[in-house]
């Protein structure tokens, strides 16, 4: 690639990224799922519409695997262990037994109803068996579910990618020979080793970060995120489950009381969004709309088998003995959202050379699009009808740190010097131009919110919030009073700079 081509590729990538971000806002306002919007961007860029030719399934698989790792790290870093602790056991069963049950039922449906051979049927069942972490995490931010239901969904979506990936790789062997004993041994090793590596990286990383003083606060989010990525890559290198390792390491790091937790969450969410945008756009590029028509009906059939048979049965079988109410089990059956994960998993058999595996890509793509449009908007009404959301339910407030320029505001600080006439002037007498206001005063190491009759003293540090439009007027008023006192205007002192 020449330097000019590099600049051109970066320009196109940057424009696509910005368009996707702006489009996400529009899509959210009209109720269109963001992940489908990103897929649509990729499809529009593809060879059938704008003509960008992309059919590199291996590159899509590699980028998709890395992006899923980032998404799982983001999910782990934004997870409170207290929310999922009580649900770890049922979530683990759902993520293992549930995935196997869903795979078998869907595979039988595909073999009988679509006439697929057993290898493609098992692959299709494994590909669509796991819920999508990005889709589930986005839903949990919007629906005020009971903590146990939200925690169970969150933990399941973080855990079940690993078993699904293992099953897909097991069924992608050419020629296809399935040996149950060997498959169980491989699955057991990958899950156990992945869990051990993830927990070890999390605990050791937390210990190291506590003992190392980094020179800049901005390095802490990078270090914490990097440790989780190390767990993901180390597990993959050891032929263990990198997805499970990444999620567990991130959960441990997020709940170890490390500094700058809020900054870390914001950093992780930003990278998570970047990974989602890149992932869905590439997957959209990989699909040719002209080849989807023949697989629409098969996709809808498999979607109904998954939604009305495989998912409910897997939930019921997995949660036997956990005393989960039927209403919650019904909602869990409805909330098995699919997204990027199934589409990424379709690239594994394509790269492995499984015959007719490109058909799986088309079926899964249509299934994800159609059933995301059906399931996503319906979850809140379903939760309300089941009584999981009461009319007076409250949600944990989401506190955000917004840059002042986004609010068209600016923060001014000034320290009252010994010779300043600001001493003994009350906040009311200062008469800053509206809407400027003194929000905090730091005096002798103590911080307090001033009242209108609070008197300013020498040595006070004033923190003033104003707008960009009135900043200059506020500065002039401060200078005027500092020079001539509260009656500065009577002495023709208007705080102009010398």
pLDDT value of position 371: 82
Distance CA 401, CA 270 (A): 14
pLDDT digits (tens, 9 = 90+) for 204-238: 999 998 888 788 878 888 999 999 999 999 999 99
| Cβ 156 vs Cβ 83: under 8 Å | no
Distance CA 379, CA 377 (A): 6
Band (pLDDT 50/70/90 cuts) for residue 398 is very low
Q: How does the average pLDDT of the chain come out, rounded?
A: 84
**249: closest CA among 77, 93, 133?**
77
Q: Residue 138 above 80 pLDDT?
A: no
pLDDT digits (tens, 9 = 90+) for 75-85: 888 888 877 88
Band (pLDDT 50/70/90 cuts) for residue 310 is very high
Band (pLDDT 50/70/90 cuts) for residue 393 is very low
Tell me the pTM: 0.70
pLDDT value of position 210: 84
Q: Which residue has the higher pLDDT, 375 or 485?
A: 485
pLDDT value of position 397: 43
pLDDT value of position 176: 77
pLDDT digits (tens, 9 = 90+) for 24-50: 776 666 555 677 777 788 888 877 777
Band (pLDDT 50/70/90 cuts) for residue 497 is low
pLDDT value of position 139: 65
Band (pLDDT 50/70/90 cuts) for residue 98 is very high
pLDDT digits (tens, 9 = 90+) for 429-446: 999 998 899 999 999 889
3-state helix/strand/coil string of the chain: CCHHHHHHHHHHHHHHHHHHHHHHHHHHHCCCCHHHHHHHHHHHHECCCCCECCCCHHHHHHHHHHHHHHHHHHHHHCCCHHHHHHHHHHHHHHHHHHHHHHHHHHHHHHHHHCCCCHHHHHHHHHHCCCCCHHHHHHHHCCCCCCHHHHHHHHHHHHHCHHHHHHHHHHHCCCCCCCCHHHHHHHHHHHHHHHHHHHHHHHHHHHHHHHHCCCCCCCHHHHHHHHHHHHHHHHHHHCCCCHHHHHHHHHHHHHCCCCCCHHHHHHHHHHHHHHHHHHHHHHHHHHCCHHHCHHHHHHHHHHHHHHHHHHHHHHHHHHCCCCCCCHHHHHHHHHCCCCCHHHHHHHHHHHHHCCCCCHHHHHHHHHHHHHHHHHHHHHHHHHHHHCCCCCCCCCCCCCCCCCCCCCCCEEEEEEECCCCCCCCCCEHHHHCCCCCCEEEEEEECCEEECCCCCCECCCCCEEEEEEECCCHHHHHHHHHHHHHHCCCHHHHCCCCCCC
């Amino acid at each position: 690639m020449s330097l000019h081509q590099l600049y051109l590729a970066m320009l196109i990538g940057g424009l696509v990224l910005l368009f996707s971000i702006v489009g996400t806002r529009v899509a959210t306002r009209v109720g269109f799922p963001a992940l489908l919007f990103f897929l649509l961007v990729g499809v529009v860029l593809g060879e059938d519409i704008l003509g960008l030719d992309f059919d590199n399934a291996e590159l899509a698989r590699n980028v998709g695997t890395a992006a899923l790792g980032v998404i799982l790290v983001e999910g782990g870093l934004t997870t409170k262990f207290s929310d999922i602790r009580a649900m770890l056991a049922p979530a683990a069963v759902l993520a293992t037994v549930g995935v196997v049950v869903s795979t078998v039922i869907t595979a039988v449906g595909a073999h009988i109803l679509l006439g697929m051979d057993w290898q493609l049927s098992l692959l299709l069942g494994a590909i669509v068996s796991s819920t999508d972490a990005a889709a589930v995490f986005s839903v949990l931010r919007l629906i005020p579910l009971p903590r146990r239901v939200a925690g169970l969904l969150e933990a399941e979506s973080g855990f079940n990618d690993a078993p699904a990936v293992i099953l897909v790789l097991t069924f992608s062997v050419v020629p296809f020979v399935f040996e149950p004993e060997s498959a169980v041994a491989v699955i057991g090793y990958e899950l156990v080793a992945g869990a051990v590596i993830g927990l070890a990286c999390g605990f050791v990383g937390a210990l190291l970060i506590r003992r190392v003083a980094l020179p800049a606060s901005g390095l802490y989010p990078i270090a914490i995120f990097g440790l989780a990525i190390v767990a993901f890559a180390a597990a993959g290198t050891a032929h263990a489950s990198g997805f499970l390792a990444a999620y567990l390491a991130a959960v441990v790091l997020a709940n170890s009381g490390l500094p700058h937790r809020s900054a870390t969450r914001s950093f992780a969410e930003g990278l998570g969004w970047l990974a989602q945008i890149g992932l869905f756009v590439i997957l959209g590029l990989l699909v040719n709309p002209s080849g989807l028509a023949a697989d629409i009906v098969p996709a809808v059939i498999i979607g109904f088998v998954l939604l009305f048979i495989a998912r409910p049965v897997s939930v019921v079988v997995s949660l036997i003995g956990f005393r989960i109410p039927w209403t919650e089990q019904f909602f869990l059956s409805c909330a098995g959202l699919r997204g990027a994960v199934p589409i990424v998993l379709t690239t594994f058999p394509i790269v492995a050379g499984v015959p007719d595996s490109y058909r799986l890509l088309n079926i899964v793509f249509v299934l994800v699009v159609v059933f995301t449009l059906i399931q996503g908007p319906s979850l809140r009404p379903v939760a309300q009808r089941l009584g999981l959301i009461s009319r007076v339910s409250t949600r944990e407030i989401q506190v955000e740190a917004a840059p002042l320029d986004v609010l068209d505001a600016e923060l001014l600080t000034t320290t009252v010097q010994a010779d300043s006439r600001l001493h003994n002037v009350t906040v009311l007498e200062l008469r800053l131009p509206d809407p400027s206001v003194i929000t905090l005063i730091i005096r002798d190491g103590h911080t307090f919110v001033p009242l209108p009759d609070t008197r300013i003293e020498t040595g006070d540090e004033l923190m003033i919030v104003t707008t960009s439009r009135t900043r200059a007027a506020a500065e002039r008023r401060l200078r005027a009073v500092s020079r001539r006192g509260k009656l500065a205007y009577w002495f023709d002192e208007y705080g102009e700079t010398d």
